[in-house]
Amino acid sequence: MNLTHPFRDPDGDKLREECGVFGVIGAREAVNIAALGLHALQHRGQEAVGISTYDGREFYSRRGLGHVAQVFSEKDLGETLPGEMASGHVRYSTTGGSGLRNVQPLFADLSTGGFSIAHNGNISNAASLRRELVRRGAIFQSTSDTEVIIHLVATSRYPTLLDRFVDALRMVEGAYSLICMTDQGMIACRDPLGIRPLVMGRLGDATVFASETVALDVVGAEFVRSIEPGELVQVDHKGTVSSHRPFGNISPRPCIFEHVYFSRPDSVMDGRSVYSVRKQIGVELAKESGVDADIVIPVPDSGVPAAIGYAQESGIPFELGIIRSHYVGRTFITPSEGARHAGVKRKHNANRAIVEGKRIILIDDSIVRGTTSMKIVDMMRDAGAAEVHMRIASPPTGHSCFYGVDTPERSKLLAANMDTAAMGAFIKADSLAFVTIDGLYRAVGAAGRNNACPQFCDACFTGEYPTSLTDLADRETPDLLTLPVNKVA
């Protein structure tokens, strides 16, 4: 009998993308396009959203907690957020904690004029840079790693904003796809490794930037190209686009997990359909670890494409053996750690009539802590499944991400603590298999992983981090989250 609170038990057992960014310049009522674009990126961050605009004279902004459609709900957005240039941000609370002051875009009045910044990624030396900036007299408004970039720009000795901006970026390490606004126009850039995605599109005379192509589709823009790793693109108010490459040539390492889970299936990432890659992972899984069974069941919704691929490759029928409620976001509601447990059933319910008496293959995208998988296996058995075989559309996740994905500390990752056999026993499946790292690389179109020079950032699977991790190494440097700041009550 249920005596616990009905809505206080979400079990957020997923890795979470922390942010999405969107920008548009050269469009009437740019705010409306930005809101629609951010709505299409809502899966990248559901805790908070902000939009800044510029109308040729002044900057305007609104930032709020909640979904895009809640914070930007009124009819006449264009009156309160006027202008033909707008940029926005959706976020989770990774670095910096919850709270309105960390919601982006951040804004500052610099001596060069107003400056707004929206950031997808994570600066891995933010705490040590901040310590030095404060020593020199900087006053921080937020606990966000992104604010470090603004202060570096503000205190740079270079005369122009663009030079100052590049000067600042040379000092930061980590992952960043940025959309900035000045009174001169918009700047979009991507870190030298291109860890986080960023694409450019065209909407009539306007230029659009977004984390994923789906946002271009939804606002009606055409895809132009990806911003290259290490590239900085400037667009002025006349629509002139110029490209800069301040970092020289570095082999890119885009995040492979974007393909596995973060991105929307209807996005095209680095030239490949996310949906097709996920189906192909299912195909690889079926080849690598086939099993005799009656039906293939996806864990909705992220497991669906891989399950379709698995079913087509194996010839075993695809069935909706788990029904997902439409009335919750992914697998969780709130950003607080305490609220992640239990509650699986109000999101996922067994379709008993289908499952009963069947040998089933369950397809999920990943295993993080393993608690959700355990509950779903259990739910399938309760519904009468004869056998439950779990297949996972990514390799074991054994390492934390420091590039903008909300991962538990390593000790809480199931794959950091046990091998696949033990994991299978832990979740009580009849069998468990993960796609291999090479299978995953094949699914994204490579011949396999180039271990000498990996084509992607796959640190969460392999532990091979493509940048140094300054803050982590420096035991003297406090975590941003524990800085002695003012608590807003």
The tokens for 175 are: 């992952």
Which 455-484 residues touch a second copy, going by CB under 8 A? Answer: 483-484
Which lies closer to a second copy via its Cβ, residue 319 or residue 430? 319
Nearer of residues 3 and 452 to a second copy, judged by Cβ: 3
Distance, first Cα to last Cα, the chain: 37
Which residues ranging from 367 to 396 are in contact with a second copy (CB under 8 A)? none
- Of 254-262, 264-272, 284-292, 411-419: span binding a second copy (CB under 8 A): 264-272
Q: Residue 140 or 247: which CB sits closer to a second copy?
A: 140
Query: Using the rule CB under 8 A, is 304 a contact of a second copy?
Result: yes
Cβ contacts of 192 within 8 Å, gap of 6 or more: 229, 230, 247, 250
Indicate the SS3 state at residue 31: helix
Pick the closer one to a second copy by CB: 33 or 432: 33
460 annotated ligand binder: yes
- Minimum Å distance from CB 294 to a second copy? 13
> For a second copy, which is the closer residue by CB, 418 or 483?
483
CB closer to a second copy out of 141 and 251: 141
d(CA 407, CA 305): 23
Question: What is the distance between the alpha carbons of residues 398 and 423, in angstroms, rounded to a whole number?
Answer: 12
Tokens 């900057």 belong to: 59
Packing angle between helix 420-427 and helix 371-382, nearest 10 degrees?
Answer: 50
Is residue 107 a contact residue for a second copy (CB under 8 A)? yes
Please, are residues 380 and 355 in contact by the beta-carbon 8 Å criterion? yes
User: Applying CB under 8 A, which of residues 66, 239, 317, 448 lies at the interface with a second copy?
Assistant: 317
- Which DSSP string corresponds to 377-395? HHHHHHTT-SEEEEEESS-
Is residue 189 annotated as a catalytic residue, yes or no? no
Task: Pick from 308, 368, 388, 423 the residue near a second copy by CB under 8 A.
Answer: 308
Q: Which is nearer to a second copy, 151 or 341 (CB)?
A: 151
Stretch that binds a second copy, among 52-60, 119-127, 357-365, 400-408 (CB under 8 A): 52-60
CA 50 to chain CA centroid, Å, is: 16
What is the C-alpha separation between 80 and 78, in angstroms, rounded? 6
Please identify which residue in 349, 417, 420, 462 interacts with a second copy, judged by CB under 8 A.
349
In terms of Cβ atoms closer than 10 Å to its own Cβ (0-12, 13-18, 19+), residue 244 is middle
CA dihedral 337, 342, 348, 349 (to 10 degrees): -170
Closest CB to a second copy among residues 200, 460: 200
Q: Verify binding: residue 64, a second copy, rule CB under 8 A.
A: no
Q: How far is the CB of 366 from a second copy (least distance, A)?
A: 18
401 marked among binding-site residues: yes
Applying the rule CB under 8 A, the residues between 207 and 236 that interact with a second copy are 214, 217-220
Task: Tell me the two tokens of residue 126.
Answer: 């933010």
Of the residues 15, 21, 25, 40, which one makes contact with a second copy according to CB under 8 A: 40
Of the listed 19, 180, 189, 453, which one is catalytic? Answer: 19
Verify binding: residue 325, a second copy, rule CB under 8 A: yes
**Strand, coil or helix: 54:** strand
* 411 secondary structure, DSSP code: G
DSSP 82-104: -SSEEEEEEE--STT-SSGGGPS
Of 81, 129, 293, 377, the one binding a second copy by CB under 8 A: 81
For 409, other C-beta atoms within 10 Å of its C-beta total 8
Is 87 labeled as ligand-binding?
no
255 is in an annotated binding site: yes
- Residue among 21, 25, 48, 77 that touches a second copy (CB under 8 A): 77
Residue 365 assigned to a binding site: yes
The residue type of 430 is D
Within a 13 Å sphere around the CA of 222, how many CA atoms are in the beta-carbon half? 6
Range in contact with a second copy (rule: CB under 8 A) among 59-67, 251-259, 416-424, 448-456: 59-67
Enumerate residues 326-345 that contact a second copy by CB under 8 A: 326-330, 333, 345
Measure Cα distances from 243 to 162, 233, 236, 240, 375 in Å.
12, 5, 12, 10, 50
Nearest approach in angstroms of CB 97 to a second copy is 13
Q: Compute the distance between CA of residue 67 and CA of residue 38 in angstroms, rounded to an integer.
A: 9
Query: Per-residue x/- marks for a second copy, 17-36, CB under 8 A?
Result: ----------xxx--xx-xx
Told to check if 315 binds a second copy by CB under 8 A, we report: no
Residue with tokens 């946002």: 215
| CB-CB neighbours of 234 under 10 Å | 19
Q: Tokens in use for 451?
A: 């271990």
Q: How many residues bind a second copy (CB under 8 A)?
A: 105
Range 140-159, binding a second copy (CB under 8 A) = 140-141, 150-151, 154-156
| Residues contributing to the annotated binding site | 255, 302, 364-365, 401, 457, 460
Active-site residue list: 19
| Residues contributing to the annotated binding site for [4Fe-4S] cluster | 255, 401, 457, 460
